[in-house]
């Protein structure tokens, strides 16, 4: 791990990147830590020790979606959870681990150990103030390992309890969808059309030319009779170009989209279904955990 300190990160506090959203008319406003005064936080902590931390990324999402797509989706979803539950949201980072997307301009990536340390030190501050129930809402697959390490580290070295309520949560099982619609395709474009339509450039949307390596194509073919081999196939997709596996974004896709589905078939209605499913699952979890003693 680098010995460099982490206070240099100007991207840590991300509240300035907020698409205007209003999904729940008549309900309370979301609570965002950076929008609160210290006296507001003190009052909140008198009755609630929960906090939700969104995790996203700054990486290419094809020619038609913004670099901050994962962050925008995570932040929109946790704000909706906050609206319905009254739990504080604390954005910490605009970036994540995205090294395999760096082949397209604009992406920013942290080393997993750097990201872990930045978030952990931030959570340590929250714990000092009295937050004890830490919930991560991750919406970027590249952050999965970092999230796992953070949860383990918090649970094994601090007084707080940490869990996942986004990607990686056992109650957020991925629904069966179209094969290989993983990144910036129909599904993700649909979600962005719902949460931040002003940032979507549908006139640029187009199907990618997907270029699997010979090894990946062979494994996929063999998996028709031996489906367990899909586990190996998945290890070749979304890895840095330095690994020589041919699975970095610019090697895999002509325009950065990872999908066999046409992103032009995306709709806000499809995105709303995804948004509602993930947020309602999280709301149910938060309300259930609230019943337990602090």
Same domain, 53 and 118: yes
Q: Which tops the pLDDT comparison, 253 or 25? A: 253
Number of domains in the chain: 2
Task: Write out pLDDT tens, residues 127-141.
Answer: 999 999 999 999 999
Same domain, 50 and 160: yes
SS3 at position 50:
strand
Whether 23 maps to a domain, the answer reads: no
Cβ within 8 Å of residue 77, ≥6 positions away: 54, 137, 139, 166, 195, 275, 278, 279, 282
Task: Write out pLDDT tens, residues 54-86.
Answer: 999 999 999 999 999 999 999 999 999 999 999
Supply the angle between the helices 144-157 and 112-129 in degrees, to the nearest 10.
40
Same domain, 157 and 54: yes
Whether 65 maps to a domain, the answer reads: yes
User: At residue 121, does pLDDT exceed 60?
Assistant: yes
Same domain, 147 and 284: yes
Same domain, 145 and 285: yes
Same domain, 57 and 164: yes
Specify burial of residue 260 (Cβ count, 10 A radius: 0-12, 13-18, 19+). middle
Q: Whole-model pTM above 0.75?
A: yes
Range of the domain at 125: 31-176+271-290
Same domain, 185 and 132: no
Same domain, 70 and 90: yes
Same domain, 162 and 185: no
Listed in order, strand segments (DSSP E) in 146-287 are: 161-164, 181-183, 258-259
Same domain, 49 and 151: yes
Give the whole-angstrom CA distance, residue 219 versus residue 243.
18
């Amino acid at each position: 791990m680098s010995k460099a300190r982490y206070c240099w990160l100007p991207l840590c506090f991300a509240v300035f990147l907020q698409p205007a959203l209003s999904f729940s008319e008549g309900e309370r406003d979301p609570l965002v830590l950076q929008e609160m005064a210290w006296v507001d936080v003190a009052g909140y902590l008198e009755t609630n020790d929960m906090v939700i931390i969104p995790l996203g990324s700054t990486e290419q999402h094809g020619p038609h979606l913004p670099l901050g797509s994962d962050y925008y989706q995570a932040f929109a979803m946790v704000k909706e959870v906050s609206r319905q539950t009254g739990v504080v949201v604390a954005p910490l980072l605009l970036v994540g681990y995205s090294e395999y997307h760096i082949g397209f301009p604009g992406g920013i990536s942290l080393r997993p150990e750097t990201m872990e340390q930045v978030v952990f030190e931030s959570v340590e501050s929250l714990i000092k103030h009295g937050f004890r129930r830490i919930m991560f809402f991750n919406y970027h697959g590249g952050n999965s390992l970092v999230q796992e390490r953070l949860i383990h580290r918090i649970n094994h070295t601090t007084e707080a309890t940490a869990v996942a309520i986004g990607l990686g949560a056992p109650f957020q099982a991925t629904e069966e969808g179209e094969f290989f619609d993983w990144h910036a395709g129909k599904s993700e474009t649909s979600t962005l059309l719902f949460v931040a339509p002003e940032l979507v450039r549908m006139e640029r949307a187009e199907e990618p030319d997907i270029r699997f390596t010979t090894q990946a194509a062979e494994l996929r073919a063999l998996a028709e009779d031996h489906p367990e081999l899909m586990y190996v196939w998945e290890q070749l997709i979304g890895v840095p170009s330095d690994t020589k596996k041919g699975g970095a974004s610019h090697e895999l896709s002509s325009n950065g989209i990872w999908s066999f589905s046409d992103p032009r078939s995306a709709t806000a209605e499809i995105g709303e279904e995804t948004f509602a499913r993930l947020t309602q699952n999280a709301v149910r979890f938060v309300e259930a955990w609230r019943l337990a003693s602090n």
